[in-house]
A = this chain, B = another copy of it.
């Protein structure tokens, strides 16, 4: 993980936020390559979940919502961690993680040793960020930064159903930022205070076979992660036990990815059967009927909700961890670092190099880069030995490198080198665009 964090900074995937000011607590910025990788992931999710289906509608709800939303959802009362303060050193710890906590004043001491600490009773600390809206700072104008995007879907349920004329079963999907004032964030972009969710809420008839839909979405979502190239043996389901299950939930599975090292298997997505908890709470708190009207069967009911909720940052991290490898190259002294990212989500699709900086090769290669850039993200590089330029592209996961050499100037073909197999073949320069389109689809 340390090597990956260093690579991410050096090559422009991910920087610490406000780094020149010493950083902002567990907040990260996506640099030129990171933003493209994450965009590709989000676009794939949006296409699979919204555009390619006729039974899911898209939404982009705002981060700021009416404060009553969070009373109805249960977050104001229950979205808390129990905290204890130490009266001696003034540090604050999660009460349920005291055994792992270390006194900040005595770093030599082992975690969990609190022999001369003077700890307060546990107090509940709400994880929502609070702010005030409008010019007057009073309690009526409190607003929260949403801790999840799901509530934006529930409160818009009827508006969307009516505008889109969808019939149950159907879903609503959105991608957006959420915020949690985590006490112990960490592990790079795995747990951060500002993060991005890709959530879909699927509304089903409680009198029909809703467990079948639950199983359907479990399967679909696992298949989606596999389609990103995440290794099969690094993905698993974790079923929530009775104890883990929220009181209203009928079933819940996490999709876990093996991040390796001390992190191991961790949740990257949750598939939850939430019953009619959310809609019935909003119906109660808003005083507005949120029932779906089935005009054919002449019934009104609150649908059940199957939720699929995936962390965009965690999935980005999983793709990076899954792809990172160091390997020996046959016949070469130095090894190489490769980000074996699926070509379809790689931030740069092709590196384009003139073999040497003369004989018209730079001009030919630059022209090729200009033509390809309209359709694919490509990177032109003429500096340093060709081997070094290959290594630079391997390290950021570029699947193809196109080299313009002496033969190009004679027959118009370029060398196409494959990142993973290292195989090289010659392709006519005017066919490269079609070649890439085929290899990237």
| Residues of chain A having any CB pair with chain B under 8 Å | 9-12, 15, 17-25, 27-36, 38-39, 46, 51-54, 57-66, 68-69, 83, 92, 125, 129-136, 143, 145, 152, 155-156, 158-160, 163-164, 174, 177, 179, 181, 183, 193-194, 282, 285-286, 288, 290, 369-370, 373-374, 377, 380
- Residues of B within 8 Å of A59, CB to CB, are 29-32, 35
Task: Count the copies.
Answer: 2
Docked-complex contact B131 and A163, CB < 8 angstroms: no
**Neighbouring B residues of A125 by C-beta, 8 Å:** 135
22 contacts between A and B (CB under 8 A): A9-B159, A17-B62, A17-B64, A18-B66, A19-B155, A20-B282, A21-B68, A23-B66, A24-B62, A29-B59, A29-B60, A29-B156, A30-B60, A31-B160, A31-B163, A35-B58, A35-B59, A38-B60, A39-B46, A51-B373, A51-B377, A54-B369
- Chain B residue with minimal CB distance to A83? B135
Decide if B15 touches A92 in the complex (CB within 8 Å). no
Chain B residue at minimum C-beta to C-beta distance from A369: B54
Shortest distance in angstroms between A284's beta carbon and chain B's nearest beta carbon? Answer: 11
**Contact of B83 with A60 in the complex, beta carbons under 8 Å:** no
Chain B residues lying within 8 Å of A23, measured Cβ to Cβ, are: 66
Per the bound structure, the CA–CA distance linking A18 and B282 in Å amounts to 10
If the complex has contacts A29-B59, A143-B24, are A17 and B66 also in contact, measured as CB distance less than 8 A?
yes
CB pair B18 A69 closer than 8 Å: yes
Q: List, in ascending order, chain B residues with CB within 8 A of A34's CB.
A: 60
